Amino acid sequence: MKEIITCLSLILSLSCALAQEVKIVPVVLKDKSIELYIHNQTFQGQSVLLDCELKGMTSTEKLPITKFLEVGEKVLFTTLAPKDIYKPFGYGTSILYVEGDVQAKHDDNYVYLLPYPKGTSYNIDQGYLGNKTHENLYALDFNMDVGAEITAIRDGIVTKVIERYDKGCPDESCEQYNNLVLVTHEDGSIANYAHLKKNGAIVKVGDRVKAGDLIGLSGATGWASGPHLHLEVYTASWDGKITLPVNYYLDEKTTGEPQVNQVYAQKRLK
Ligand SMILES: [Zn+2]
């Protein structure tokens, strides 16, 4: 019995280790109890859910356990101890994880900057919940030519950069070729700047950016019918991202949600 369950644990842990870069790291102590650490070896903060199947063992923490792990962080989730070391015992583990903090709460009072420098203005080709491709998304499409400068809409840390692709088309089959920059904000929400041109990221993972800093160059990669910037602010959840209808500075003082077929000039940046 003991061997079977230990084997189950090994198989599950191994499959996690092979398929994922968020790893369970068990440490066996002298008294035969086992510390279960989880190591985030990815380049994004991850929400992690750990569950264990126990036979003849107890857990110091109530299962399942959810924690947010920063990049590179290794955290003790729980310690499993045999109830009686002279009787069979063992455990199986499973983990689930998603990029971003599922417990993040967006600061709805925050007003964002338009994503381009002083002296520029762009039309909104598709707004929040637009019926072309934003049916369930609070996302904005800015009509930008290839190579147009994109600036950060809020302070944050760059948590993902993809810029190696050079392909785009107007259907879902091209989604895999999407270049993007993700910036994670203080409240755990994330801005997604999508469809950048090949090698069009000006920043790299780990960079701190300020609102208004140049971060990338527009393009037409991924699922795109032509050059534009697709921009959304979202929080993570176990079922995917939850995009948010955030407010922007529409001119120097007016704030609100940008509307489709309106041109907005950048007037907040000096
Ligand atoms: Zn879009």
Model pLDDT for residues 49-71, shown as the tens digit of each residue: 999 999 999 999 999 999 999 98
Hey, what long-range contacts does 245-253 have (CB within 8 A, 24 or more apart)?
245/128, 245/138, 246/106, 246/108, 246/110, 246/112, 246/138, 247/110, 247/111, 247/112, 248/111, 248/112, 248/113, 248/114, 248/153, 249/111, 249/112, 249/113, 249/114, 250/114
14 vs 173, residue with greater confidence: 173
Q: How far is the CA of 230 from the centre of ligand 1 (A)?
A: 4
Q: How far is the CA of 80 from the centre of ligand 1 (A)?
A: 47
Cβ atoms within 10 Å, residue 184: 22
Torsion, CA 64, CA 70, CA 71, CA 73, rounded to 10: -70
128 pLDDT above the threshold of 50: yes
Active site residues: 228
Instruction: Determine the average pLDDT of the residues in 180-199.
Output: 97
Q: pLDDT for 4-54, tens place per residue? A: 344 344 444 444 444 458 999 999 999 999 999 999 998 889 999 999 999
pTM score: 0.86
1 pLDDT above the threshold of 80: no
What is the pLDDT, as a whole number, of residue 187?
Answer: 96
Domains of the chain (ranges; CATH) run 2-99 (2.60.40), 111-265 (2.70.70.10)
What is the pLDDT, as a whole number, of residue 17?
Answer: 40
What is the pLDDT, as a whole number, of residue 71?
Answer: 87
**Taking a C-beta distance cutoff of 8 angstroms, is the pair 243, 102 a contact?**
no
What is the pLDDT, as a whole number, of residue 13?
Answer: 41
Q: How far is the CA of 45 from the centre of ligand 1 (A)?
A: 24
What is the pLDDT, as a whole number, of residue 21?
Answer: 87
